Structure 1
């Protein structure tokens, strides 16, 4: 976080900075629940304090990092992974006892941002040592620790790696999580919530194939992504928006099986939108998009 971000590139920073008064109390439930895990039960933290932490999180982000739409609209206040239909099974799997080698199952959160999703697992009693986070820039994770959740001690055992996973598993410079010989076949679960639609077509293909390599045999890749009724470039060609068929092909080409794709409500919004014939004729940038929940196994 040493250089100012270029907010002219696909950034929602120009939409204005939300302030304390813009933070909805109805979305503070997860932060309230997480307070007990911080060990500060003797000190009551009211909603005004939580709102100030959210405002500080946004201030640091706007000054130092790229502002995605989900940040500008404060979707990070609630975990996304808990909305996935596979969440109960993943949570149960992470609670399993160690395997024959003494290793507990692990989950990797791709595009972790501030780390809301992994903290949902901590709140459910999953050990931090079973969790790994990654993002293009570590700045979001650090802001989450210092400003939003204020919990560096809670997440000190969460493994981290930063950079572009689409470049392949061999490109990961961080050592694998403690006790593991390699990043290959290292995690039982990988989650990527609202990530694939922020990537170019080449990056998306690379990410899916890297995830396949990171998963152990029988492992599960889950997530959500924005999509369209017809695949194509968007955001002035810098990103790729899949449709259901093209996304399924990417998973199949990487080697995944048991691929399940289904339209679902956009996180934090109303019903998914569908395109009629008139909409389908529009350029991809203007087309009404849908949201897809996916799961695929290795």
Structure 2
């Protein structure tokens, strides 16, 4: 196993709570100040840890453990705590409305990482028994239980690991023009996303599309289109790296997960992509690209810029 930034594979001792003590590298802790008070409050509410020092130690301990298993930049930057699902994005209120008003509305979170976003939705009222989460790494869900102090019994959202680009996990079908003839699956029995096709009221997918080439992003969009319920008001939404103009993110020279240049959409090209997935007149696409300050990019390249694409596709 490759370990970056000096993280240790083996615990050297135990802390006062009997947890394995991981040797932490100060570089891992450097981004802790980027966690907002709102995000810390959410972890505090979920865990019941009120002492600021104890809360910080708890978060850093889980981060260090996770980084040993998967030394990803998102772990280093505490992305597993950053709130992508929040009232700050327009689609969030629509999501909660679906949870309140649509019987058995399913929320699917793709690339869920530690599950912080679905936990936020559940805390704000979305029924936990109607939540499905998936990620390519099953360990992430376990770290979520450790971070938030839960178990499968106390937070019974359905999770299973898989790669959405493989047919075994999600095969490609056209968007549904009418309700599927197959019954809504029992979520507790799911082992892939395929039984959900045409049944999902809300699909959240953030920080995933920009990991892939333009061609794979098109393929992924078409796959998600086949999952979405045809019922008006159903949504696919999220946020990701974007650009003022469609193209490769060359400003900071940051590669995607495959070591290649990151391909990013503009609001116009993103709208065109989704309009190619669904039949004309069946969806509305809202997409907004805004520049965002990223202190972590400043050491990478002088004048580095970063844009966030916030978007929602709504069935009409």
Matched, 1:214 2:208: no
Partner of 2:33: 24
**What residue is the counterpart of 1:291 in the other structure?**
308
Task: Tell me the equivalent position of 2:160.
Answer: 161
Contact 2:35 2:78 in 1 (8 A): no
What secondary structure sits across from 1:165 in the alignment? Answer: coil
Task: Normalising by structure 2, report the TM-score.
Answer: 0.70
Residue of structure 2 aligned with 1:94, choices 96, 99, 106: 99
CA distance in 2, matches of 1:238, 1:22: 24
2:176 alignment counterpart = none
From 49, 52, 59, the equivalent of 1:47 is: 52
Change (3 A) 1:241 1:78: closer
1:296 Cα deviation from its structure 2 partner: 0.8
Change (3 A) 1:134 1:157: same
Q: Is 2:94 aligned against 1:84?
A: no
Distance 1:242 1:26, change over 3 A: closer
Aligned position for 1:144? 144
Partner of 1:242: 265
Q: How do residues 56-95 of structure 1 correspond to structure 2 at under 5 angstroms?
A: 56-68=61-73, 70-82=74-86, 83-95=88-100
What secondary structure is seen at the aligned counterpart in 1 of 2:98?
helix
2:291 and 2:308 in contact (8 A); partners too: yes
Counterpart pick for 1:189 among 190, 196, 202: 202
Report if aligned partners of 2:284, 2:313 keep a CA contact under 8 Å in 1. yes
More helix by share: 1
Q: Which moved more, 1:120-129 or 1:179-188?
A: 179-188
CA contact (8 A) 2:133 2:159 kept: yes
Give the TM-score normalised by the residue count of structure 1.
0.74
Other structure's SS at 1:76 match: coil
1:224 is the counterpart of 2:239:
yes
1:25–1:47 CA contact under 8 A, matched in 2: no
Shift of 1:85: 0.9
The alignment partner of 1:194 has SS state of: coil
Q: For residues 36 and 245 of structure 1, do their structure 2 counterparts lie closer, same or farther at Cα, with a shift above 3 Å needed?
A: closer
Q: Quote the residue 1:257 is aligned against.
A: 283
Q: Secondary structure at the match of 2:229?
A: strand
Q: Is this contact kept in 2: 1:257–1:296, CA < 8 A? A: yes
C-alpha displacement of 1:136:
1.8
Change (3 A) 1:16 1:52: closer
Higher relative contact order (CA 8 A, sep 6+): 1
How far is 1:186 from its partner? 2.1
Q: Give the CA deviation at 1:155.
A: 5.5
